[in-house]
Each structure stands twice: as C-alpha cells, then as structure tokens.
Amino acid sequence: MNPLTQLLHLVGSGAVAYITARNLRDSRTRPDMLAGFQLAEGGAVPYLESLSQRAAAEGDAWLAEKLAIHAQDERRHSQIFAHALKQLNKQMIDFSALPKQTSTDKASGTSETANNRRSPFLAAYYEGYSRDDLAPQQIDWIVFFASTHILELDASKEFARIAKVLPDSDLASANLKKGLLSIAKDEERHAAYLREAMQRRLPYAEVCVQVDDWRHRKVNAMLAMVSNLFKQGGELPSLTRDGAPVEVAEDQTEDQTAGNQSKSQSIENQRTEDPKTDSELASV
C-alpha cells in the first residue's frame, strides 16, 4: 500500500469513527444511525445465504459453512440494532411501503428507483462492476473475498472504537456498547476467513495485491461519501419512525448483546477458527 493511501485510510477511518460515535451519543441522531446499521447488517443476510448455497453447489464445503455462519452472525447483528432501537421506542421504517421515486440517467436514458440506486460509497467502491457482476451467482469469488475482507476488517475496528466512547451511565447505552463489542469480534473473524479464502486460491503476493487494490478503492469510496454528505449539508436521511416493533422481544436483551457471545463461542468450537453487503455488496 502506498504511503498516501495509508495516510488517507488512517485519517478517514478515524474521522468516520468519530462522526459515528458522536451521532450515536446524540439522542437526536442515534435512532437513524442504529437503523442504518440494522439495514446494512440485515440486508447482507440473503446475499450471504445465496453465496453459501453457490459454494455448496460448487463442492466447497468449507466456504459454504463459513458463509452460512457469516449470514447467521449478520442476522444477529441486525437484531442487536433493532433491539437498541426498541429501547428508544423506535423502529426502522418499512421501505416497501414507501412510494417509488424514479429518476432518469441522462447519459444512458435508463430509469431507476430511489431504493435501487447505489450510494456514492458503493458506486465508488465497486467502480467498473455492474449490479449483474456483483450478483451472488455471478460475482467473481476473489472480488467478493477481497472487497468484503476490507469492509469487515474496517468495521471490526470502527465498531470497537465506537463502543469505547459510549457511556455506561444508562442501560440502553451499556447494552449497545456490549453489543458493538460482540459485533466487532464477529467482523474480525469474518475478515480473517475471507483472507484465508483468498490464500486458498491465490499465491501470497497476489493476495497482497488484491488487498491493496480494494484498500485503495475503500479510500476513494470514503472520499465520495464525504463529498456527498457535504452536498447534502451534513443531513442524514430519516430511517426511523416512532413505536417499537412487536417482533423484537424484550427478553432478547441478553442474547442480542454480550450474553449472546456464548452462542458465537459454541459455534466456533464446532469448526476451525475463521481466518458489510447487497446491503454490503449490492450491501456490502
């Protein structure tokens, strides 16, 4: 990785963690931040499940198992954020109930709905790749491994940083802090198995090339995201509405935070240690 990319990565990661932590500490912006996390984590589940099925069909049982566990982890992460929203008497809005707004690309003449439009971050991160290229049945495995490795690795560090600055003064913040630390450990494990998956298919030098390439893309994507945020005047979209969903049970508190780590540990004990979606890829 060249020095400039490394510097921009460190500055950008620190800035993102600071802004995210500040917004989570602020009662006015915390609900929308939590909903954004819930959307990203939960949105990755069907994608990962489809990839797991593809890996199984291709005869790669090791990868199929890793992806299935990854999907289970992301579902649990989504539930953690949903529960945190419920403690604030909030829930994520139902996007399927929103009216579809369409826009036309002047260059191509094609129309797209607001819900299907790529974010500036994803557009920059996956520049040169179409939606079809990133579909679970079509995506090149190395592209998936490398791109998602970077996202998971960075997420593990950012969630850990955010957790450290959350207060322990109230139950909701304390539970969220435990949940974020649990998620950070899962993301670190995901990043490790994705790198191992690359190492199973590529020489070490090529793995390093792939990682450096997607690190550079991540820096460009962060710059695109920040630029778009400035254009919007720093305003974040509203993703929540009042009222807690009945499907998020109160007795999930322990399971969705630190207490649920025991379940993760029991899963880990049954397999070798593992070496953010379309929410991360199409999610990332």
What CATH number is given to the structural domain containing 245? 1.20.1260
Q: What is the pLDDT of residues 129-176, one digit of tens each?
A: 999 999 999 999 999 999 999 999 999 998 998 898 888 888 888 999
Give the Cα separation of 181 and 160 in Å (integer).
6
In sequence order, the 6+-apart residues with CB closer than 8 A to the CB of 134 are: 126, 143, 278, 281, 282
**CA proximity to 254, closest of 35, 33, 80:** 80
Examine residue 174 and state whether it is found in any structural domain, yes or no.
yes
Say what the pLDDT of residue 29 is: 81
Which pLDDT band holds residue 15 (cuts at 50, 70, 90)? low
Examine residue 23 and state whether it is found in any structural domain, yes or no.
yes
Domain that includes residue 84, residue range:
3-95+117-269
Say what the pLDDT of residue 266 is: 33
CB atoms within 10 A of CB 264: 17
Examine residue 19 and state whether it is found in any structural domain, yes or no.
yes
Say what the pLDDT of residue 232 is: 64
Range picked from 171-175, 196-200, 269-273, 279-283 for highest mean pLDDT:
196-200
pLDDT at 250 over 60: no
Examine residue 104 and state whether it is found in any structural domain, yes or no.
no
Give the Cα separation of 166 and 37 in Å (integer).
16
Q: Which tops the pLDDT comparison, 249 or 180?
A: 180
**CA proximity to 156, closest of 91, 73, 268, 220:** 73
- Partnered with residue 111 across adjacent β-strands are 104
Which pLDDT band holds residue 279 (cuts at 50, 70, 90)? very low
Amino acid at 206: E
Examine residue 281 and state whether it is found in any structural domain, yes or no.
no
Say what the pLDDT of residue 65 is: 98
Examine residue 38 and state whether it is found in any structural domain, yes or no.
yes
Tell me the average pLDDT of the chain.
Answer: 78
Which pLDDT band holds residue 66 (cuts at 50, 70, 90)? very high
SS3 state at 112 = strand
In sequence order, the 6+-apart residues with CB closer than 8 A to the CB of 277 are: 40, 41, 43, 44, 47, 48, 74, 148, 151, 283, 284
Examine residue 265 and state whether it is found in any structural domain, yes or no.
yes
Examine residue 130 and state whether it is found in any structural domain, yes or no.
yes
Q: Domains in the chain: how many in total?
A: 1
pTM of the predicted model, to two decimals? 0.75
